[in-house]
Amino acid sequence: MLDGKRILLIIGGGIAAFKSLDLIRRLRERGASVTPVLTRAGEEFVTPLSASALASEKVYRDLFDLTDEAEMGHIELSRAADLVVVAPATADLMAKMAGGHANDLASTLLMATDKRVLIAPAMNVRMWEHPATQRNLATLLGDGILCVGPDEGDMACGEHGPGRMSEPLAIVEAVEQALATGPLQGKHVIVTSGPTHEPIDPVRYIANRSSGTQGTAIARALAALGADVTFVTGPASVAPPQGVRVVPVQTASEMEAAVKAALPADAAVFAAAVADWRVADASARKIKKEGKGLPTLQFAENPDILAGVAGLKKDRPALVVGFAAETDDVVANATAKRERKGCDWVVANDVRPETGIMGGTENTVTLVTAEGAENWPRLGKDKVAERLATRIAEALD
């Protein structure tokens, strides 16, 4: 439910804007109030009259509308809401947001707001896949902008692929998630996830096996409890969760820098399978097969990100959680690892191939804390995540 929540809905100029009228209804059905803002292009697709009739509120359109300024200035308008939703978020609006432009009412509100922003992109498939749009998306996700969709399917322009705006009910769900209140409200949690890729040359790399499934589920579960999550992820094979600040990285060194830049935090969960070594002098050019026989690779040790953060004097999160993927003596090894790394908890899992845990959907974990080892039953990775998130909330209380 969204009782009493105030949504500022920016409607951009795209054919999907007609769905935003239904979105207004759906949000209001759940108890939210909606203040619509139409961009100039948005007005070509839906009329201010229909938006204001459905919202039962005044529609804002122009930055230089003095009546609006007399009633409520653009700064105030951008902050009176609990959440700013941009639907449809066109390629142009995303570019403006990523570039920090403020040359009309919508972009100025987006620059001035101190609230979370959720975008629902909608555009032609080629525009969505264009490197510029993908670059802008990465910038926006890194800035903590939340994103729902786009969906894949037939488009109004006759093409097929990703670019359709999410259905109103999916956007409502993302809104509910973004406004989730819970025991971790106001807490910042860093989660590392996925493998790291350490380049040998521009086309080859070494890596650990990791799908990123468990780390992703943990970030999602923490966000569902209201945490502000910074999700630092290597190249994982699962999509990052909604409602978190995503920082994509490739190497362990980049992961370490991203984690340090995200501090301070109340808790940090290190679920990434970080490569222990990198190639000391990765070649800037592809190493040729022909000629000089087998190449010799010199390795250098990667920073231990978990141990580094656990050992911080200043800015150490109150709770530091490490993972231990073990094939033998799981509890003994995890207990030793907890001591060695200086972290508060270790989540240990048995990754012998016959367990099917690596890349699978279930996990059997042992939580090792200062009080000892606790065996959890075999659970879906999402259930393990929810249980861990609940324990983190209790520990930070």
Q: DSSP secondary-structure letter at 355? A: G
Residue 366 Cβ, how far from ligand C5P at the closest point, in Å? 14
**Per-residue x/- track, 139-158, ligand C5P (CB under 6 A):** --------------------
| Nearer to ligand C5P (CB atom), residue 75 or residue 395 | 395
Give every CB contact of residue 60 below 8 A, 6+ residues apart in sequence.
35, 36, 37, 38, 68, 77, 105
| Nearer to ligand C5P (CB atom), residue 119 or residue 306 | 306
Which of 80, 156, 157, 332 does the annotation list as catalytic? 157
Matching residue, tokens 């300024």: 69
Pairing of strands 205-207, 146-147: unpaired
Indicate whether 211 belongs to the interface with ligand C5P (CB under 6 A).
Answer: no
Residue 252 Cβ, how far from ligand C5P at the closest point, in Å? 5
**Closest by Cα among 72, 2, 388, 78 to 216:** 388
**Per-residue x/- track, 236-275, ligand C5P (CB under 6 A):** ----------------x-----------------x-x-x-
- Token couple for 384: 């393990």
- Token couple for 43: 């007005």
- Token couple for 88: 């449809």
| Nearer to ligand C5P (CB atom), residue 119 or residue 343 | 343
Applying the rule CB under 6 A, the residues between 168 and 207 that interact with ligand C5P are 192
Q: Beta-carbon neighbour count of residue 18 at 10 Å?
A: 15
Indicate whether 350 belongs to the interface with ligand C5P (CB under 6 A).
Answer: no
Answer for which of 205, 231, 323, 345 binds ligand C5P (CB under 6 A) is 323
Point out which span in 102-110, 199-207, 217-225, 316-324 binds ligand C5P (CB under 6 A): 316-324
**Per-residue x/- track, 271-310, ligand C5P (CB under 6 A):** -x-x-x-------------------------xxxxx----
Residue 280 Cβ, how far from ligand C5P at the closest point, in Å? 15
Give every CB contact of residue 134 below 8 A, 6+ residues apart in sequence.
none
Instruction: Return the SS3 of 357.
Output: coil
| Nearer to ligand C5P (CB atom), residue 346 or residue 393 | 346
147 as an active site residue: the answer is no
Q: How far apart are CA 179 and CA 95, in angstroms?
A: 25
Q: DSSP secondary-structure letter at 327? A: S
Residue 371 Cβ, how far from ligand C5P at the closest point, in Å? 19
| Nearer to ligand C5P (CB atom), residue 190 or residue 244 | 190
Total chain residues near ligand C5P (CB under 6 A): 14
**Closest by Cα among 154, 83, 151 to 120:** 151
| Nearer to ligand C5P (CB atom), residue 107 or residue 193 | 193
Residue 117 Cβ, how far from ligand C5P at the closest point, in Å? 30
Q: How far apart are CA 378 and CA 172, in angstroms?
A: 33
Vertex 23, ends 20 and 24: CA angle to 5°? 95
Instruction: Return the SS3 of 369.
Output: strand
Answer for which of 324, 331, 351, 385 binds ligand C5P (CB under 6 A) is 324
Q: How far apart are CA 21 and CA 17, in angstroms?
A: 7
Q: How far apart are CA 221 and CA 276, in angstroms?
A: 28
Per CB under 6 A, residues contacting ligand C5P are 192, 252, 270, 272, 274, 276, 302-306, 322-324
Which residues have a catalytic role annotated?
157
